[in-house]
């Protein structure tokens, strides 16, 4: 029993890593620009397809492909900012609707470029680390965990210790006051969009060999990300990370001991309960939204 | 008298129309009537300022309920359709307790979550919902005759006449509701919520009322769909369909009663005539996405704003 619990815990840690990368990006975008990016799951999908195109089809080294995924999806984010969110800055519902449009376009492009089939991405490594004879973790999953911890720490450092980070947080808290201090709202929006989208792309790229890559994979991701940001509190980065861990553990344990559909229902119910009892989430303040 | 003539012409045109088009286009006409009811009911909900992402699932509740009561209990199909509408309204009434503790963005996400839970329950419980495969062999409408016309529901034309009458009746009711004092209060709840509240309007109960009525009509639309295609499954009512409904409503514009209906008709024509004829079926999401983005960027009030421009110009002359 202990082995099973420990094993499930490790699996949950892996899930928590990539979920938190996605959710933190979504929260960052919402915090700075005030729009909910419905296309975030498709940005994740785009990251996966970069790895399919470079690593699986053209033999580019995996980590180069992952970095390319981060940058490519980051640029997609910049395009979204420039073309959609900047003109719709005064229309939050408009930004959301436009992101739904962008989602459809990305999905259709993936179908046109790669077909609806599932892509085969050869595993990076088959190595498995085994603890105490029973508990094992594939090295490929370990990479995801390490990358998530490194990138989230880097983001934390960036936000709390650099001038750009201060500017970003200032314009998230109060765009007008920040603008009066000479902070360019446009510039911070671009940085937030690049990081937010790039993190989703990174998560998609890293997990490409471990999940089934297909044009519609973004749906599960965005549902999960919504649950996480609601439970954590919309606009709270710490909340998103904590909620990712909570959600990943609950979901993985219910999947292991019951079944996947029930786990999805549990996750959604968790979100509904938080929405009913404390709509600002576990860490949220009542200010925004 | 003039109005009566216009409606008479419209009715005659609708009777002739399906006889001029191909079989597959007749089927499209049936879906079009059903979709019009879905967007028109969706608009009633948006009147109070709330945007739901669960409307299509609620429509599915009507479809499942009607399919089950006719198949398992042997209820007469037209009654089953009414039961479908009533069940959708009832489920919406239950959901309104948790959902209307939220507003705006939270309501949007909350309605999405509630809808997904319902959909997953259909998937999880094979008895009675049939699991992921859904329900097959749903009873069709029984054939009947009204003297001058023999309804044979194997023919899409007959079902088109039937659903057109049902939908027209529903649209008329929706229109009457919107123009009634209750409908005006819906507007007030959206645009002047503080003032409305100060005047003694219970905001929450009006939001609930709009949600329940809109859901009831969506349920009828779902039941019409179920008895036409004969098979439904959880994926018939997924978020992709919801995105289409949202696109119709936004492209048409939700400011007027006819806006969403116009959006639905225009996009269906575009879809069926332009895309299918050109063999661009696969690019449908791409084109819908572009249309959605372009219309929110350049035509935030929807197609209806174009119509209004023309009618105003005429009045000015």
Q: How buried is residue B255: exposed, middle or buried, by Cβ count under 10 Å (0-12/13-18/19+)?
A: middle
| Residues in chain A within 8 Å Cβ distance of B290 | 101, 105
- Interface residues of A toward B, Cβ cutoff 8 Å, are 36, 83-84, 87-88, 91-94, 96-98, 100-105, 107-109, 111-112, 219, 223, 226-227, 230, 234, 261-262, 264-265, 268-269, 271-272, 275-276, 279, 289
Residue entry with tokens 């039961």:
B83
Instruction: Count other Cβ atoms within 10 Å, centred on residue B207.
Output: 24
Q: Is pLDDT above 70 for A13?
A: yes
Residue entry with tokens 């009434």:
B93
Total residues belonging to chain B: 317
- What is the rounded average pLDDT for all residues in chain B? 84
The confidence score (pLDDT) of residue B59 equals 93
Please give, rounded to a whole number of angstroms, the shortest distance from the CA of A198 to a CA of chain B: 22
Residue A207 lies in a domain: yes
Give the count of domains, chain A: 1
Which of A26, A31, A89, A104 to probe the B interface (max B CBs under 10 A)? A104
Average pLDDT over residues A260-280: 85
| Residues in chain A within 8 Å Cβ distance of B288 | 101, 104
| Nearest CB to B109 within list A105, A108, A226 | A226
Q: Which of B242, B273, B236 is nearest to A38 (CA)?
A: B242
Q: How buried is residue A182: exposed, middle or buried, by Cβ count under 10 Å (0-12/13-18/19+)?
A: exposed
Tokens linked to A111: 């179908």
The confidence score (pLDDT) of residue B82 equals 92
| Residues in chain A within 8 Å Cβ distance of B289 | 100-105, 108
- Quick: pLDDT tens for A39-64: 999 999 999 999 988 888 888 888 89
- Quick: pLDDT tens for B268-304: 888 777 777 777 777 778 888 888 888 888 877 777 7
Its domain, for residue A194, covers: 2-214
Tokens linked to A155: 């983001």
Please give, rounded to a whole number of angstroms, the shortest distance from the CA of A136 to a CA of chain B: 31
Tokens linked to B35: 């979709």
Check if the beta carbon of residue B133 is closer than 8 Å to that of residue B233: yes
Is residue A285 very low, low, confident or very high in pLDDT (cuts 50, 70, 90)?
low
Four-CA torsion A159, A163, A164, A165, nearest 10 degrees? 10
Tokens linked to B18: 């399906």
Which is it for strands A135-138 and B144-145: parallel, antiparallel or unpaired?
A: unpaired
Q: Which of B93, B111, B89, B103 is nearest to B208 (CA)?
A: B93
Residue A272 lies in a domain: no
Q: Is pLDDT above 90 for B312?
A: no
Q: Is pLDDT above 90 for A78?
A: yes
B123 vs B302 pLDDT, higher one? B123
Residue A281 lies in a domain: no
Which secondary structure element, helix H or strand E, spans residue A135, and what is its range?
strand A135-138
A86 vs B19 pLDDT, higher one? A86
Q: What is the ipTM of this complex?
A: 0.82
Distance, in Å, from the CA atom of A201 to the CA atom of A197, rounded to the nearest integer, reads 6
- Quick: pLDDT tens for A194-232: 999 999 999 999 988 888 888 888 888 998 998 898 888
Residue A148 lies in a domain: yes
Q: Is pLDDT above 50 for A288?
A: no
Q: Is pLDDT above 80 for B306?
A: no
Average pLDDT over residues A90-98: 81
Please give, rounded to a whole number of angstroms, the shortest distance from the CA of A268 to a CA of chain B: 6
Q: Is pLDDT above 60 for B317?
A: no
Distance, in Å, from the CA atom of B64 to the CA atom of B311, rounded to the nearest integer, reads 42
Classify residue A246 as left (phi > 0), alpha (psi -120 to 50) or beta: alpha
Distance, in Å, from the CA atom of B199 to the CA atom of B231, rounded to the nearest integer, reads 48
Query: Half-sphere exposure of residue B92, counting CA atoms within 13 Å on the CB side?
Result: 33
Question: Under an 8 A CB cutoff, do B290 and A105 touch?
Answer: yes
| Residues in chain A within 8 Å Cβ distance of B101 | 275-276, 279
Tokens linked to B4: 């009566």
Question: Under an 8 A CB cutoff, do A104 and B123 touch?
Answer: no
Instruction: Count other Cβ atoms within 10 Å, centred on residue B94.
Output: 11
Using alpha carbons only, give the angle B144, B147, B153 rounded to the nearest 5 degrees.
30
In degrees and rounded to multiples of 5, residue A65 shows phi and psi of: -60, -40
Q: Which of B243, B223, B239 is nearest to B61 (CA)?
A: B223
- What is the rounded average pLDDT for all residues in chain A? 86
Q: Where are the alpha helices (DSSP H) in B48-192?
A: 55-72, 77-99, 104-124, 126-129, 156-179, 181-191
The confidence score (pLDDT) of residue A287 equals 46
Cα nearest neighbour of B287 on chain A: A105
The confidence score (pLDDT) of residue B223 equals 92
In degrees and rounded to multiples of 5, residue B232 shows phi and psi of: -135, 150
Question: Under an 8 A CB cutoff, do A272 and B297 touch?
Answer: no
- Quick: pLDDT tens for B162-208: 888 899 999 999 899 888 888 888 877 777 777 877 777 777 888 88
- Quick: pLDDT tens for A153-163: 999 998 888 88
| Residues in chain B within 8 Å Cβ distance of A84 | 293, 297
The confidence score (pLDDT) of residue A195 equals 93
| Nearest CB to B120 within list A100, A261, A279 | A261
Domain ranges of chain B: 17-237, 238-317
Cα nearest neighbour of A234 on chain B: B106
Average pLDDT over residues A179-191: 85
Percent of chain A at pLDDT exceeding 70: 98
Tokens linked to B19: 């006889």
- Interface residues of B toward A, Cβ cutoff 8 Å, are 51, 98, 101-102, 104-106, 108-110, 112-114, 116-117, 120-121, 123-124, 239, 243, 246, 250, 282-286, 288-293, 296-297, 300
Question: Under an 8 A CB cutoff, do A108 and B285 touch?
Answer: yes
For residue B128, say if its preceding peptide bond is cis, omega within 30 degrees of 0: yes
Question: Under an 8 A CB cutoff, do A272 and B113 touch?
Answer: yes
Total residues belonging to chain A: 289
| Residues in chain B within 8 Å Cβ distance of A101 | 288-293, 296
- Quick: pLDDT tens for A103-129: 999 988 998 888 877 888 887 777 777
- Quick: pLDDT tens for B200-256: 777 788 888 989 999 999 999 999 999 988 889 888 888 888 888 888 888 888 778
Tokens linked to B42: 């969706």
Which secondary structure element, helix H or strand E, spans residue B145, and what is its range?
strand B144-145
Please give, rounded to a whole number of angstroms, the shortest distance from the CA of B292 to a CA of chain A: 5
């Amino acid at each position: 029993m202990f082995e099973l619990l420990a094993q499930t815990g490790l699996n949950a840690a892996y899930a928590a890593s990539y979920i938190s990368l996605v959710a933190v990006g979504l929260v960052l975008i919402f915090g700075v620009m005030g729009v909910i990016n419905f296309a975030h799951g498709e940005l994740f999908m785009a990251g996966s397809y970069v790895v399919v195109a470079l690593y699986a089809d053209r033999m580019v080294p995996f980590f180069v492909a992952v970095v390319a995924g981060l940058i490519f999806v980051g640029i997609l984010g910049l395009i979204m900012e420039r073309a959609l969110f900047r003109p719709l800055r005064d229309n939050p519902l408009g930004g959301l609707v436009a992101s739904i449009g962008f989602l459809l376009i990305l999905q259709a492009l993936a179908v046109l470029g790669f077909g609806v089939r599932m892509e085969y991405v050869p595993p990076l490594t088959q190595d498995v680390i085994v603890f105490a004879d029973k508990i094992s973790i594939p090295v490929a999953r370990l990479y995801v965990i390490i990358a998530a911890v490194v990138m989230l720490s880097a983001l934390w450092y960036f936000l709390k210790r650099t001038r750009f980070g201060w500017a970003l947080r200032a314009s998230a808290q109060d765009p007008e006051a920040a603008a009066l201090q000479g902070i360019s709202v446009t510039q911070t929006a671009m940085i937030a969009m690049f990081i937010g989208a790039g993190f989703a792309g990174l998560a998609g790229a890293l997990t490409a060999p471990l999940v089934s890559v297909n044009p519609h994979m973004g749906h599960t991701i965005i549902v999960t990300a919504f649950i996480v940001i609601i439970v954590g509190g919309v606009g709270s980065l710490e909340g998103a990370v904590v909620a990712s861990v909570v959600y990943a553990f609950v979901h993985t344990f219910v999947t292991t001991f019951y079944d996947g559909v029930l786990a999805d229902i549990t996750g959604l119910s968790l979100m509904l309960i938080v929405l009913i009892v404390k709509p600002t989430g576990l860490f949220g303040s009542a200010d925004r939204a | 008298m003039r109005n009566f003539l216009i409606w008479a012409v419209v009715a005659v045109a609708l009777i002739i129309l399906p006889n001029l088009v191909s079989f597959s286009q007749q089927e499209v006409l049936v879906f079009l009537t059903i979709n019009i009811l879905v967007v028109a009911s969706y608009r009633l909900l948006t009147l109070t300022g709330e945007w739901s992402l669960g409307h299509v699932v609620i429509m599915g509740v009507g479809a499942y309920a009607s399919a089950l009561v006719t198949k398992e209990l042997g209820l007469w199909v037209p009654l089953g359709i009414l039961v479908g509408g009533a069940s959708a309204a009832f489920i919406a009434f239950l959901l309104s307790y948790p959902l209307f503790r939220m507003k705006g963005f939270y309501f949007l996400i909350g309605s999405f979550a509630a809808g997904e839970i319902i959909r997953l329950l259909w998937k999880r419980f094979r008895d009675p919902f049939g699991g992921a495969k859904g329900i097959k062999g749903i009873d069709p409408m029984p054939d009947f005759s009204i003297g001058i016309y023999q309804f044979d529901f194997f023919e899409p034309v007959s079902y088109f006449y039937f659903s057109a009458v049902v939908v027209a009746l529903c649209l008329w009711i929706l229109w009457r509701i919107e123009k009634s004092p209750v409908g005006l209060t819906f507007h007030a709840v959206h645009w002047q919520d503080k003032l409305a509240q100060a005047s003694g309007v219970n905001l929450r109960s009006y939001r609930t009322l709009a949600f329940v009525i809109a859901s009831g009509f969506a349920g009828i639309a779902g039941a019409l769909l179920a008895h036409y295609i004969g098979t439904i499954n959880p994926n018939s009512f997924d978020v992709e369909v919801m995105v289409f409904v949202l696109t119709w409503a936004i492209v048409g514009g939700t400011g007027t009663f006819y806006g969403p209906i116009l959006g639905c008709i225009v996009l269906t024509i575009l879809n069926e005539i332009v895309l299918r004829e050109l063999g661009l079926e696969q690019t449908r999401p791409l084109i819908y996405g572009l249309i959605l983005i372009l219309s929110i960027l350049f035509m935030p009030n929807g197609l209806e704003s174009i119509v209004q421009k023309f009618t105003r110009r005429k009045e000015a002359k």
